């Protein structure tokens, strides 16, 4: 008969040891939730069904599930054994399928380990993944019989001092035949230190028929579980290392991979150069030969080939080929720099398109604006885009020259090749090629400084001054 593969992912626990309101499996590492990482590895072995056991903050967890994952509600979290028996209620009782079980708090597991686990099952009562830990604390210890076969797993809280010395631990990945598993689960009790139904308690029951539970050995770095914040950081470091290595193999240069943070899902072209402190998140894409960093945060942004970005923050921004950003620029959502455009030092932009070769080099705010190709926006220029009620557009024509410290009171249109005088407050449209100046005439009063000094001396109280050859008159 055809025997299918059903994957069961346990994700109902609260994760008390995280000391966080967020359900444990929704904590993120390198751009995805712990559960997402686990599900991606499960999906890669193409099971017939994927059942995800949810409980604590079930709605929040279910909202993150891909459509091919079937949520199973475990209303009360009575232990990993109870979680699996809840999931099995979704399968026909006579099912001859293989059940692959994994825990949603192990984001480093790869599909290869799942394959090895399932492959070990034929003819056996079960397969359990184990690994050796120098410091096994927190894990269930694997107790073996005199003949070397698996006897049972003892949880840390139930273990004697001698049992705690065992360094072989249960990873939390198993394969069992569905029908015997269901039968075994119906007989386990919660008579232990935590008052929970422990999944590993099925091992000895499954072996009563005579066949054995065998183990598959994993590398500790594959199966690290996340129970605490420091383990989350450790797992994140591992994931980042993997991601960075993959990009290095693809021709990306990183000065210091330990200080380069690339989320899963980010796309980099060959020849990209990353200095330390670069954080690339979400759907960020970086083109060939772009140089980023030191210190760039880019979320859901695209950075074109040959662009140069340093000490800057980009959120949903598009930086064109050979464009320049920073140091110290903030490109907020809707910012587009076309090819060779520049957003320089201490420049903030939002919802603004800067045309090809146009430059906004220093100390400026461009919001809800269009800057035409080759235009130059002087230092200190600001689009006054908000009247306290609504946002308005500013349009700067091609080749325009906006003098330093121009206030562009939107809505306003500056024509092509138009010029604004430094310090002007521009409230009306400027026709193409014109100069617009808005400021008082400069007055000059000759000899003013000397008269000012005299006035000051006349007012100052007379004080005896000690005579000295150097003293001024
Ligand atoms: C579990 C194992 C332990 C193993 C370790 C590996 C048991 C009893 N112990 O311990 O032998 O060494 O994992 O990391 O299985 N969950 C539910 N419903 C529940 C309880 C838990 O879905 O009622 C889920 C949790 O969300 C979590 C996973 O099962 O994803 C494991 O639970 P956790 O409490 O972390 O088990 P450990 O104490 O780590
Ligand atoms: Ca755990």
pLDDT tens digits for 190-238?
999 999 999 999 999 999 989 999 999 999 989 999 999 999 999 999 9
Strand pairing report for 126-132 and 168-177: antiparallel
Spacing, Cα 265 to ligand 2 middle (Å): 26
Position 461 confidence tier, pLDDT thresholds 50, 70, 90: confident
Distance CA 332, CA 383 (A): 15
Distance CA 427, CA 113 (A): 67
Give the number of the atom of ligand 1 that is nearest the alpha carbon of residue 155. Answer: 11
Q: For Cα atoms 46, 48, 50, give the angle at the middle one, nearest 5 degrees.
A: 85
Q: Which of 7, 13, 88, 158 to mutate to test ligand 1, by most ligand atoms within 8 A of the CB atom? A: 13
Residue environment code for 90-104, b if the CB has 16+ CB neighbours within 10 A, otherwise e:
ebeeebebbbbbbbb
Token output for 26: 């929704």
Ligand 1 atom 9: residue of nearest CA: 140
Please state whether the peptide bond connecting residue 420 to the residue before it is cis, i.e. omega within 30 degrees of 0: no
**Which among 117, 80, 76 has a CA at the least distance from the CA of 201?**
80
Distance CA 90, CA 406 (A): 68
Token output for 159: 């273990």
Residue 82 is among the residues annotated as catalytic for this protein: no
**Which among 281, 291, 285, 276 has a CA at the least distance from the CA of 303?**
285
Report pLDDT digits (tens) over 236-290: 999 999 999 999 999 999 999 999 999 999 999 999 999 999 999 999 999 999 9
Distance CA 465, CA 57 (A): 81
Distance CA 307, CA 20 (A): 40
Q: What is the pTM of this model?
A: 0.89
β partners of residue 152? 143
**Which among 81, 100, 172 has a CA at the least distance from the CA of 133?**
172
List all residues whose CB is within 6 A of at least one atom of ligand 1.
Answer: 10-13, 25, 53, 55, 74, 77-80, 82-83, 103-105, 139-140, 153, 155, 169-172, 198-200, 225, 227
Q: Are 35 and 26 in contact (CB under 8 A)?
A: yes
3-state secondary structure of 471: coil
Q: Which of 80, 167, 176 to mutate to test ligand 1, by most ligand atoms within 8 A of the CB atom? A: 80
Q: Which residue has the higher pLDDT, 221 or 446?
A: 446
């Amino acid at each position: 008969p055809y025997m299918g593969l059903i994957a069961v992912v346990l994700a109902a626990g609260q994760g008390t040891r995280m000391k966080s309101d967020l359900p444990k499996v929704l904590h993120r590492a390198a751009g995805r939730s712990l559960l997402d990482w686990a599900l991606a590895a499960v999906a890669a072995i193409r099971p017939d069904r994927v059942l995800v056991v949810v409980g604590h903050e079930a709605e929040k967890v279910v909202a993150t599930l891909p459509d091919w994952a079937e949520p199973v509600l475990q209303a009360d979290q009575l232990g990993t054994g109870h979680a699996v028996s809840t999931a099995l209620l979704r399968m026909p009782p006579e099912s001859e399928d293989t059940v692959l079980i994994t825990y949603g708090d192990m984001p480093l597991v790869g599909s290869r380990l799942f394959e090895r686990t399932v492959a070990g099952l034929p003819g056996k009562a079960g397969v359990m993944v184990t690994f050796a830990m120098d410091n096994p604390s927190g894990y269930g210890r694997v107790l073996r019989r005199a003949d070397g076969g698996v006897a049972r797993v003892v949880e840390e809280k139930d273990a004697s001092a001698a049992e705690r010395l065992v360094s072989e631990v249960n990873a939390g990945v198993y394969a069992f035949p569905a029908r015997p598993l269901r039968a075994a689960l119906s007989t386990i009790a919660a008579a232990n230190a935590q008052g929970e139904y422990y999944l590993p308690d099925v091992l000895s029951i499954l072996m009563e028929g005579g066949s054995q539970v065998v183990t598959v050995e994993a590398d500790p770095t594959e199966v690290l579980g996340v129970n605490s914040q420091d383990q989350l950081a450790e797992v994140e470091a591992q994931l980042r290392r993997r991601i960075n290595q993959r990009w290095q193999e693809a021709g990306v240069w990183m000065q210091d991979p330990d200080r380069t943070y690339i989320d899963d899902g980010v796309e980099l072209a060959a020849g990209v150069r990353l200095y330390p402190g670069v954080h690339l998140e979400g759907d960020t894409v970086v083109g060939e030969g772009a140089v980023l960093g030191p210190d760039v945060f880019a979320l859901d942004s695209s950075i074109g080939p040959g662009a140069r970005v340093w000490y800057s923050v980009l959120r949903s921004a598009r930086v064109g080929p050979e464009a320049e950003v920073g140091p110290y620029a903030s490109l907020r959502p809707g910012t587009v720099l076309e090819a060779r455009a520049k957003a320089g030092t201490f420049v903030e932009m939002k919802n603004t398109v800067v045309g090809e070769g146009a430059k906004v080099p220093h100390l400026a705010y461009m919001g809800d604006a269009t800057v035409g190709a080759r235009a130059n926006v002087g230092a200190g220029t600001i689009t006054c885009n908000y009247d306290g009620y609504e946002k308005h557009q500013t349009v700067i024509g091609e080749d325009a020259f906006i003098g330093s410290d121009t206030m562009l009171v939107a809505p306003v249109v500056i024509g092509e090749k138009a010029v604004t005088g430094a310090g002007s407050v521009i409230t009306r449209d400027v026709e193409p090629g014109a100069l617009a100046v808005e400021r008082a005439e400069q007055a000059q009063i000759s000899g003013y400084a000397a008269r000012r000094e005299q006035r000051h001396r006349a007012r100052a109280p007379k004080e005896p001054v000690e005579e000295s050859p150097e003293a001024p008159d």
